[in-house]
Structure 1
Amino acid sequence: MKPGFRTTHAFIAACMTAAMATGSAQAAEVAGIKLDDTVRLANQDLKLNGAGIRYKAIFKVYVAGLYLAEKKNTVPDVLAAPGAKRVTIVMLRDVSNEELGRGFMAGINQNSDRNEKVKYINQLQKFGEIFASIPELKKGDILTTDWIPDTGTIIHVNGKKVSDALPDPTFYNALLKIWIGDKPVDTKLKPAMLGEKPEEQPRGNT
């Protein structure tokens, strides 16, 4: 093999290695928070479906990202999607467990009718107890709510498991509706999680 060929071959190989390394490190960035393009959950590779900012009045509260096995852009498709699912929340300010839990419970109540809630009332109660046990969430803390097939809903804070499995799939869909239901907690976060480009302009909803 000629020296020039070896040099060219080595250069191409180095470029390919660099390109592959760059690709594996890609992440979406929202409000300065980087979210992985893919995550591994329950032996599945999940893709970032969409992400955006939760505002309260003019204040940024957290970044939320939705992960699915395949990207979906309608609510029925997201709710019906098979396999594992994840919502990742990264706090942008300090929030008490009471405030965050109250907001989540309000989101569930606003997007689930009475007959639905009867089916998972026990899990709803346990969900409230989970937030009661979590200390104040600080800026930069990460909360994940995972749906794991044949297991249930599992919640982690900064990688630490804080819940037993909540097995009813309709309960996990009730959680998803907090952000993508008919009355989402933030009207501009919903389309962002469904794959539209996130907006960072403040708005007046509470």
Structure 2
Amino acid sequence: MKKLFYTLLVSVLSFSALQAQTTTIGDVELKNTVTVDGSSLQLNGAGIRSKYFLSLYVGSLYVPSKISDAKQVLSTDQKMIQLDIISSLISKEKMEDTIKEGFSNSMNGNTAPLQKEIDSFIAVFSEEVEVGDIFQFITNGSKLKALKNGKELTSVDNEEFNKVLFGIWLGDKPADKKLKSKMLGK
């Protein structure tokens, strides 16, 4: 009886420890800590991007240590935004249009100074987008890598571009104010 109790206790504690390593948003399980290019980043916050009452994707922000101020996040060198697609309503065309609109909002309508970088980045969405796809935008300050399902699709070496890209979700005119707040851990 004691052996069964201890076995059960160890199983419960192991399961609890495993759960403590992840956070679930909707049906998406996010790691609380990730290692990117040898650096540890922790989940700062995450939420569901909704539009017209439809859940589209889970957006999550990873930084070296918790930050609740958007401007501080934008000036932090190492960070990652992850988008986990949860809706079949998202297509490559809709992602392209949404990201272009996000750049316009992040740059107050004047995308000309970074148009070359924006065009290069938009190519990330050239293949069809499906439920379960994971996009990651990772920067070390100057260079940004864009990945889809773990495969690097493009990189952009421009610090200002990185701030503008992360501004799509964390800037003054974010794609979704509730998602911004959730990503900032509020």
**Same fold judged by TM-score > 0.5?**
yes
Structure 2 counterparts to residues 55-134 of structure 1, below 5 A? 55-82=50-77, 84-94=78-88, 95-113=90-108, 117-131=111-125, 133=126
Amino acid at match of 1:91: I
SS at match of 1:140: coil
Matched, 1:168 2:158: yes
Q: Secondary structure at the match of 2:84?
A: strand
The correspondence of residues 15-30 of structure 1 with structure 2, limited to 5 A, is 19=13, 22-23=16-17, 26-30=21-25
Which residue of 139, 142, 148 maps to 1:147? Answer: 139
Aligned with 1:185 (options 143, 150, 175)? 175
Which residue number corresponds to residue 149 of structure 2? 158
Instruction: For residues 29-76 of structure 1, give each alpha carbon's deviation from its aligned partner in whole angstroms, at most 9, with x where no partner exists.
Output: 111211100000021100101000100101000000000011110111
Name the structure where strand makes up a greater proportion of residues: 2
> Gaps spanning 5+ residues in structure 1: where?
1-10, 197-206
Counterpart for residue 137 of structure 1:
129
Q: How far 1:124 moved relative to its partner?
A: 1.1
Identity %: 28
**Which consecutive residues of structure 2, in runs of 5 or more, have no partner in the other structure?**
1-5
Which letter maps to 1:108?
Answer: F
Scaled by the length of structure 2, the TM-score of the pair is 0.86
- Secondary structure at the counterpart of residue 188 of structure 1: helix
The aligned length equals 179
TM-score, L = length of structure 1: 0.78
State the structure with more CA Rg. Answer: 1
CA RMSD of aligned residues (A): 2.4
Runs of 4+ with deviation above 4 angstroms: 17-22
* CA–CA separation in structure 1 for the residues paired with 2:37 and 2:109: 32
